[in-house]
Amino acid sequence: MPIEKILIAKNGKKFYVKDSSKDLHTEFGYIRSADLKSKDGTVLKTNTGKELSIFSASFIDSYRRIRRGPQTVSLKDIGIIVAETGINKKSKIVDAGAGSGALACFLANIVKEVTTYDIREDFLEIVKKNIEFLELKNIEAKNKSIYNGIDEKNIDLITLDLPEPWMAINAAEKALKHGGFIISFSPSIPQTMDFVNEINKSPNFVCLKIIELIEREWELEERKVRPKSRMIGHTGFLTFVRKI
Ligand code: SAH
């Protein structure tokens, strides 16, 4: 079951309601179960008088609460994958490794179908729990090495987030449609180098670009306006490849 409702304070602090048949306890006191059934936009008061607005949770609210095992692809990096490939409700996607299933689940929410591969059964358990939690029906998780071949055909996008992405190139070539994309995510440059050098040897692929996305958040309080002193320094490098 996904998250039911969100309660949000004026300072942006959020509370997640998984089961509105129970009272919700927060650091600002509690809200009674009966109040949790109020209509969206209602301002509720905790027993200590703190005001919290309530609304129904969206996909992204539940997504932020998925289980995390292996390091997941961050939202900023998912954003550019979606934007640069233009994937949509007609798209078929293959993803490896599944890891926590974060990238695969996010994509499944916007495309036709996703198949995600992983060699670790214990990680696939996490992935399956996340698929159930988000109530996604168009995603399959397979216990298989993507280096040994991709069963699916006519694929629009293959996302790779694993240690040796170059070892998936042959399988990707057979599974992708012409004009289809591979996007490889690697935390470090040696993997990116080996992947791109291998892609460049193939007459059937073109490497479009290698990027790193840096997100810097700002704080704004009256006239105190400046970048936050802490930021996420580095996630990984994204390599965009197209089958020709
Ligand atoms: N993108 C994922 C995280 C992937 S972590 C997310 O957003 O949640 C990397 C995963 O690759 C690990 O779970 C690892 O088991 C898997 N992996 C490593 N080699 C693999 C292979 N040959 N085929 C499929 N998965 C592989």
Three-state SS sequence of the chain: CCCCEEEECCCCCEEEECCCCCCEEECCEEECCCHHHCCCCCEEECCCCCEEEEEECCHHHHHCCCCCCCCCCCHHHHHHHHHHHCCCCCCEEEEECCCCCHHHHHHHCCCCEEEEEECCHHHHHHHHHHHHHCCCCCEEEEECCHHHCCCCCCEEEEEECCCCHHHHHHHHHHHEEEEEEEEEEECCHHHHHHHHHHHHHCCCEEEEEEECCCCCCEEEECCEEEECCCCCCCCCEEEEEEEC
Confirm or reject: Cβ of 146 under 6 Å from ligand 1: yes
Confirm or reject: Cβ of 97 under 6 Å from ligand 1: yes
CB atoms inside a 10 Å sphere around CB 214: 11
Please check whether residue 88 is in contact with residue 110, taking contact to mean a CB–CB distance below 8 angstroms.
Answer: yes
Q: Where in the chain is the domain with CATH 3.40.50.150?
A: 66-243
Nearest CA to ligand 1 atom 16: 97
For residue 97, cis peptide bond before it (omega within 30 degrees of 0):
yes
Nearest CA to ligand 1 atom 3: 99
Candidates 189, 178, 181; CA nearest to 95 is: 181
CA distance 149 to 174: 9
The minimum-distance atom of ligand 1 relative to the CA of 185 is: 1
- Residue 233: its pLDDT value, please? 86
What the block records as the tokens of 73 is: 């692809």
pLDDT band for position 35 (cuts 50, 70, 90):
very high
pLDDT tens digit sequence for 111-162 = 999 999 999 999 999 999 999 999 999 999 999 999 999 999 999 999 999 9
Q: Residue 99 Cα, ligand 1 centroid: separation in angstroms?
A: 5
Confirm or reject: Cβ of 236 under 6 Å from ligand 1: no
Give the residue carrying structure tokens 């979606």. 82
- Determine whether domain 66-243 maps to CATH 3.40.50.300: no
Please check whether residue 136 is in contact with residue 113, taking contact to mean a CB–CB distance below 8 angstroms.
Answer: no
pLDDT band for position 1 (cuts 50, 70, 90):
confident
Confirm or reject: Cβ of 74 under 6 Å from ligand 1: no
Nearest CA to ligand 1 atom 23: 145
Mean pLDDT of 43-66: 96
Say if residue 26's pLDDT is above 90.
yes
Q: Residue 222 Cα, ligand 1 centroid: separation in angstroms?
A: 45
Give the residue carrying structure tokens 């992983």. 118
What the block records as the tokens of 35 is: 């109040």
pLDDT band for position 9 (cuts 50, 70, 90):
very high
Q: Residue 72 Cα, ligand 1 centroid: separation in angstroms?
A: 10
Nearest CA to ligand 1 atom 14: 97
- Residue 232: its pLDDT value, please? 86
The minimum-distance atom of ligand 1 relative to the CA of 159 is: 1
Give the right CATH number for 5-58 from 3.30.750.24, 3.10.330.20, 1.10.287.3510, 2.60.40.10.
Answer: 3.10.330.20
Please check whether residue 166 is in contact with residue 182, taking contact to mean a CB–CB distance below 8 angstroms.
Answer: no
Q: Where in the chain is the domain with CATH 3.10.330.20?
A: 5-58
